[in-house]
Structure 1
Amino acid sequence: MRKLLLLTLVLMGYALHAQCTGCTITDPSDPNYHFPDNETICFTTNMTFNNPTFGSNVKVCIAPGVTVTFQNNFTGIANAMIYFDVHGSLLFSQAASVVADINVHVFSTGNVSMSSGNGNFTLNGQQNVIVNEGVIEMGVLQFGDNTTNTVDNYGNFTINGNMNMSNSAVTYFRNEGGGLMFLSGNYTNNENSVYINCGSIISGNGFNINGGAILNTGVFATNGDINMSGNSSEIYNFGLFTSNGSMNNAPADAVIYNEGKMSISHYQGGNATFTGPSSSSKKGYIEVLNPIQVNNAVLGPNLDFKLFSGTSNPSTVFMNSNPSFLTNVTFDCASTGSCSAPLVINPGFCPALDGDLPPMAVDDSYTINAGSTSTGIVLDNDFEAYNGPQATIANVIMSQILTSNPNITLNTTDGHVTVAPGTPAGTYTLTYQICQQSDPTNCDTAVDTIIVPGAGTTPCYKPAITAGTILPSNLGITGLGRANSGDTNWPGARKGAWMVLESKTKGFVLNRLSDTQVAAIPAADLKEGMTVYNTTQNCLQINIDGTSTGWKCFNNQTCPD
């Protein structure tokens, strides 16, 4: 699975370019300059402004290595858009409060600073967008009344004060994978706002969710309190979520969903539910430093609770509580090797800006003869949304992105992969995309490996030989405790094997040797049938004749005698 991020609606009007282009005015030098309507003003030399004013639909581009400084506040027209493309430095010598709509794109070479990182930035325009690939540092970031705001961070974003929004503001804040955010003060949310972290966030103080939502697929750590008051406050964790303060004030309709790992210092959350994945193939892990108070909440399914130090059980993990448990709620399952699913803290996806989970396109592999079509379709193991229904022709839109051979194509109306007649034998790739029918901007991509066999290598199947007497197995290795259970029918109940291996949580690992190590096996020790896993060729390798040239990778389907 590979993530494809489309920012269409929020980035409309952007010309994403490496340097300033389309300039209509270059390097104005009046310190009280008026930026005229519908012009693109480019800066290729340093400039400092005292009291500038802005017209409507103004575009400002700062070239790499160039610094533009605003000594005082600047005046713009209410509800008129001002665009900033920052490849260099944009500095404000004091706090800035803007009534115009602001659309700021800080490129990888760019930085924006408010009063050496301590000035406040207040956005009172109706439509505000900040996309950061470089460095932004400020004091307080304030979103005003009746504003709609989008912040998408890929770089370093430091807020040395609070991040606040009015109750009427609609704000989508996303810290992308690779993004690093430091928040020294409080983050105040509201019922109209979504905070998404797919990178790393370090919060020195607390989060006031106030009916909003936090979605984490990255690394989220806060040293302050998390206040979950407000209607339907939500935390969805798929990554690593650490609360070193106290989580509190969660009403009964609040939701804490965990599919990754949550580390909680103190929790007096009221009656909020702790929920886990619906499928037992996944599990959420919750570690508590101190016993937590969940009152009469319903917990589960598929969650594991662990006390950081000491024995983990309901009486030690929960304080003054009487919770009820759904399916597969365990206590420190790792200590007994009984976890039904491994811990996953890097799920490999980032939600859309509005919090919607993306579709999941999963890589496939097909063996298709030249002139034929795949039996299955690429949607067979894809999902319309993460943890959602299977992807179908009715709920997703398919498109072919790339193919390594033009003779290998995806039929986007039915999902089959076709190999044209005459295609040479070989291994090829085809990249495709699925987007939600309900939101065509919410997409994901996958890569299919297409194996085209040569003449005479068409895969086939031979029936098993079932004649003769079925013999019991005499040797067994078990991870299920049968050896000491007094079960005299095991492993004999498993018929027709020289040795029986069984476990529900462990795999069978062959000797893992590189090409160099395989070649170093003494010739006298080589035997026909000797088997290793070759880490250089990533294959199961079997020696077919007891010689140094007899090693063969068994990774092509065929009909050996």
Structure 2
Amino acid sequence: MKKNSIFSYGKLIQKLFPLILLLLSFSAYAQSAPPATSGDYRSKTQTGTGPFLWTTAANWEVYNGSIWQTAVQYPGQGTTAASQATYDVYISPGTEINVNSSATYYFGDLYILANNPLTNVQPAVSSGANVGRINLSGPNGGVNFFLWGNDQDIFIFGGVLYFETNNTVVGLLRGNALVVNNYNGTNQILGSNGLQPLQNGCTGNKQVKFYNADGTIAQNYMVCNGNNSDYNFVALNNNGGSISAILTASPAQLCAGGSSTLLTNYTGSIPDGKIITYNIQLVSGPAGYSYTGLNGTFTDPGTAASIPDPSLGALTIPGTYIFSLTVSYLFDASYTMSSTEQVTITVRPAGSAACACYRDAARDNSAKYPTKLGISSFDRAGTDGSSSADSWPNLREGGHIAIESQTAGFVINRVANTNAIAIPVEGMMIFDLSDGKLKIYTRKDGDSLFAWHVFSTPACPSL
């Protein structure tokens, strides 16, 4: 399964981390898009004043396998999640296409092309005969340009994806990719080609996001400028790398006294030999809980054990625990690539309904015997099974008495304290009035002596 990914080849040819399923030939894809096949679209050579509108069919041509012909529909028209197209779309050098209203399309890949090399530089937005460009510029501000095909990537090969107005979002389906190749390669503030905002208008309201198939946000991946996402335009356009922390917990929901383990990893487009720094921390937790963070370094790509998977041991305090993993590397003397991921662990009180045990007794006819005596408020004794051997309480095997009710409780002996029991025997249970706790007289694993122990962790032991 592919991971959300955004790559830049602006400064150097990158190594793709093996977990990212985006297998590109650098030498081929750094130069041009693949040749068109039947059904593919391209933006038509423009005459007069531009730019052209995406939603005007006459601005497009369709390849029939041998020649390009004027289109009768615009790319993505009529496509839905249930009716997806497979053709690719090319924004040709020297053409500009305006997306001035929000839309969601389902087709193949989108290529924004340019002739290589280019000489355009910031602060002016790249344009001209050598540059293909998409302008995201809603008349009232705010454009959602969603490409939600099952296998729909964006490739910017020297062209420009221009975020002209605020509240503008490019949305990809989770698992797809955005690849940026800055042909100019100069280290301008925002790059000469690739992702560009309006001059002096680089804000956190110009974003690239990944979405789940149901339309919910999977990840706020990148903003033009700001710290509310993993990356910004600078990182991808100029620094030629990325990194994403991966953090989960197993289990993420448990009962008090249970154990959990943090599972760590990372992914990204990272230059060979970079030193990766990791830091695992407790962000917040219940009062009384503390955690000693872990940190260290290793050389990318490392091994499966480069970042530890710490066991948290028994979490005895109910509440919400939030842990974080931060991974980073120094790209050059002035820029650090960094990503932080959090995971939430919920620990329920031992006495909550979710932590009680309602497992039916295991049936083993060779070693157990039917329970002959039962008290039930369900008025079903002898009626549950097709035969007497399967009827209630016989089917509750291995017991002397079965008691069941959903409206009445079972009250065991209430005593002043454990000292009131003169001769306790193994397995004896009482309710201790002195501290209000249910106790059992037994011997814990590793103990040599019997003692009274409090019932504190409901569980379902194997029979």
Using structure 2 for the length normalisation, give the TM-score: 0.32
Please say which structure displays the higher CA radius of gyration: 2
- Higher RCO, 1 vs 2 (CA within 8 Å, ≥6 residues apart): 2
